[in-house]
Amino acid sequence: MISIEHISQSLHEALSASLNSTLVLLIEMVIAGVLVIALFAVLGLVLVFMERKVSAYIQIRLGPNRVGYQGFAQTAADTLKLLIKEGLTPDGADKFLFNLAPLVVMVVAMLIMAPIAFTKGFQLWDINIGVLYVSAVSSISVIGILMAGWASNNKYSMLGAMRSGAQIVSYELSAGLSVITIVILVGSLSINDIIASQQNGWWIFKGHIPVMISFIIFVIAVTAETNRAPFDLAEAESELTAGFHTEYSGMRFAFFFLAEYVNIFVVCAIGATLFFGGWMPFHIGSWEAFNHVMDFIPGIVWFFGKIFSLIFLIMWFRWTFPRLRIDQLLNLEWKYLLPIAMFNLLLTTLMAITGFYFK
Amino acid sequence: MQYEEVATTEEGNLVINVGPQHPATHGVMHLVITLNGETILKVEPHLGYIHRSIEKMCESLSYRQFIYSTSRMDYLSAHINNHGCALAVEKGLQIEVPERAKVIRVLMDELTRVASHVLWWGAMAMDVGALTPFFHAFRERELINDIMEETCGARLTMNYMVPGGVMADLHPDFVRKVKDFVAFFRTKIDEYDTLITHNVIFQGRMKGVGVISAADAVSYGCTGPVLRACGVKCDIRKLSPYDGYEKLNFEEPLETAGDSYARYLQRMRELRESLSIIDQLIDNIPEGDFQAKTKAVLKLPKGEFYSRVETARGEFGVYIISEGGLTPYRIHFRSPGFNNLAALDHMARGQKIGDLVAIMGTLDLVIPDIDR
């Protein structure tokens, strides 16, 4: 069976045969970089298209259906339009920060991609503190948003940025705490170890109610962290026109837009890794035949299937719920989610010590 | 009622122009809001961006013609505006309107009210951040527009009511389509409740926000659902019934809380009442003329004439001064939106920016109605 692992292995062997190790590393890094950028672009196109189709389905519309088959080329056409558009910098804006902000947001979104294990043996960077790395790097994006809001010299932008700052900083706590529950159960921060621990069953099934609670908190927190409705206060269309990116146009706007979708992808990938076994197939106890059939489906299909199910869930939120108000948003985090997450952490620790979970 | 002046230039206060082009104002209105952080200190509406001097224009139009310009004021209650004008002219000329015409008028008024409230529901949900209900609302509104199109020939500014009755008879499909619509819509209202009314986030955004007391609402001159949500009976259809409303069996729903959620519930209950009025009339449309015989050229006797009707937004008054000529000497319209907007500052003080948008949603402002 051809798998991505074999391809990368044989590529590595072929390169090592004729070149010295430094050059091999260099070439491999270039390949990895190109792959990440390609994935980035493809994800942007696919997710934007998916969002438009999902929203159309929920809103009893057809969605884009003229450009390409079923409108599939629509996002490509939109990207082309954004590329050609003039990128305006408003008078009185801090030009350096204004131009830097989309780059920061974009680079952060790319960086988080590094430790994600797409399938067995296919990972850009097998770092032993993968989960910690992701939560650390993802909080940098708030700086980009604050930068954008401040540098735009626009009151709407600034309000949006301030909201977003308060929001991301708060929700990172409960997102972090719910991630830690799994780390405690596994006993490792490495993404590969976490996936390996789910060989005999995903944590969402093995971990009883505490893990389910932490999954729910995780989903709420990452929805807030990626500034998606019902927590999209940073852009709040009907209140702040477009929030922190009001003044952005052309490709710089597209960077924010792309970064939002890639962030969604990454947090869903983390969610799938932590709670749904990453690229591990779905197994049911002793159903040998069933398990073999499941094994036959490649890991990458499993992984992307799980990610896209989670993304669909988050899109579903966006097109269903009204938006919260800023004080309600912070109340939800500090008065409900955070205490629950902390108590839940205690429960999980107890569970890990006593070994009371399905093994 | 008395407020201290808010210093807009004080250190730390932020002045923001909301509009004239802003997604929350649903039209060209300009609000200058003073903020302290996210909290609103003052809201100052600036009007005039869509002023078309309709009242002045009416002075040079005949009594048949001026009615048409009123469709362009509150375009969501076009029928009801026309109805009010027709009533004023009929009062002056003492025209007896045939029974059939009266029933048709009431039916059209109530359909308009349903269409207007449905659109309000969608726009209101959009203001608080739920985008999907807007499309659901338009699905239902399209059906009413189709019914209107068949009978009146237009979908938005119908110009169907004329002095003495209505412009044309009902389309043969009218009764069947209205019945279908009412049956369909009753299931959909329940869906609206599940989707938005019972939503925890929505209730959190609405309850206790934008509170106004009955006394304050009266002194600002609020009418319609805004005043009724404070528990004051003010439905013109009940207070001074016109064209057969007195014969109908319907309730005037009253909420008492006076906050955004009360205004929301008020309109949802009125939707159901309108449906029951339509139910009562649709099988009992009397035979006969749809228009009284009137002279080709209408001339109101010297004097002053006033009529008032209940539009989807509140009390709409038409005040005509006639010198006995072909055209009115002066016309004044009392539009509900203008007075309801006046209460916005009172409701929004001390609330957050997000609440301001929600409060404006519950006031159901139609900007051309405010500016005229």
Calculate mean pLDDT across residues A109-129: 79
Calculate mean pLDDT across residues B348-353: 86
Cα four-point dihedral sign A62, A63, A67, A69: negative
The CA-CA-CA angle for residues B98, B103, B104, to 5°, reads 95
Boundaries of domain holding B98? 53-371
CATH code of the domain in which B279 resides: 1.10.645.10
Does the CB of B16 have a partner CB in chain A at under 8 Å?
yes
Radius of gyration of chain B measured on its C-alpha atoms: 21
pLDDT of residue A357: 66
Residue B267 lies in a domain: yes
Give one DSSP letter per residue of B50-117, joined into a string: T---HHHHHTTS-TTTHHHHHTTTSGGGHHHHHHHHHHHHHHHHTPPPPHHHHHHHHHHHHHHHHHHH
Task: Report helix, strand or coil for B346.
Answer: helix
Residue B6 lies in a domain: no
| ipTM score | 0.80
Q: Give chain A's mean pLDDT.
A: 83
Residue B32 lies in a domain: no
Q: Is the pLDDT of residue B12 over 80?
A: no
Calculate mean pLDDT across residues A7-23: 78
Q: Binning pLDDT at 50, 70 and 90, where does residue B118 land?
A: very high
Q: Is the pLDDT of residue A282 over 50?
A: yes
Residue B38 lies in a domain: no
Calculate mean pLDDT across residues B247-255: 85
| Residue B134 contacts residue B125 (beta carbons within 8 Å) | yes
Does the CB of B201 have a partner CB in chain A at under 8 Å?
yes
Residue B3 lies in a domain: no
The residues in A 282-321 lying below 8 A from B, measured between CB atoms, are 319-321
Contact B196 A322 (CB under 8 A): yes
d(CA A144, CA A109): 11
> Of the candidates B16, B132, B205, which has its C-beta nearest A319's C-beta?
B132
Residue B22 lies in a domain: no
d(CA A147, CA A61): 37
Residue A176 to chain B, least CA–CA distance (Å): 24
Neighbour count for residue B295 (Cβ, 10 Å): 10
Domain ranges within chain A, ordered by starting residue: 90-354
Token pair for B146: 């189709």
What are the pLDDT digits (tens) for B180-189? 999 999 888 8
Calculate mean pLDDT across residues A182-191: 85
Task: Report helix, strand or coil for B15.
Answer: strand
Give one DSSP letter per residue of A266-281, joined into a string: HHHHHHHHHHS-TTPP
Q: Give chain B's mean pLDDT.
A: 86
Tell which of A59, A241, A325 to mutate to test the B interface (max B CBs under 10 Å).
A325
Contacts A224 to B, Cβ<8 Å: none
Element (H, E) at A358: none
Residue A323 to chain B, least CA–CA distance (Å): 5
Contact B128 A328 (CB under 8 A): no
Contact B38 A159 (CB under 8 A): yes
Which residue intervals of chain A are DSSP H helices? 4-18, 21-58, 74-84, 95-112, 130-138, 141-151, 155-186, 191-196, 203-206, 208-225, 237-240, 250-275, 288-296, 299-318, 326-331, 338-354
Does the CB of A335 have a partner CB in chain B at under 8 Å?
no
Calculate mean pLDDT across residues B281-295: 85
Residue B28 lies in a domain: no
DSSP B352: B
Of A218-222, A293-297, B39-43, B308-312, which range is least confident?
A: A293-297
Contacts A–B by Cβ distance under 8 A: 83
Contact B132 A229 (CB under 8 A): no
Q: Is the pLDDT of residue B4 over 70?
A: no
d(CA A312, CA A309): 5
Tokens 């509150």: give the residue. Answer: B74
Contacts A237 to B, Cβ<8 Å: 23, 129
Q: Is the pLDDT of residue A283 over 80?
A: no
d(CA B310, CA B224): 7
Calculate mean pLDDT across residues B58-82: 87
Number of domains in chain B: 1
Q: Binning pLDDT at 50, 70 and 90, where does residue A359 land?
A: low
pLDDT of residue B255: 85
| Residue A239 contacts residue A155 (beta carbons within 8 Å) | no
Q: Residue A54's closest chain B neighbor by CA?
A: B132
Of A354-358, B227-231, B240-244, B274-278, which range is least confident?
A: A354-358
**Distance of alpha carbon A285 from the chain centroid:** 30
Q: Is the pLDDT of residue A1 over 50?
A: no
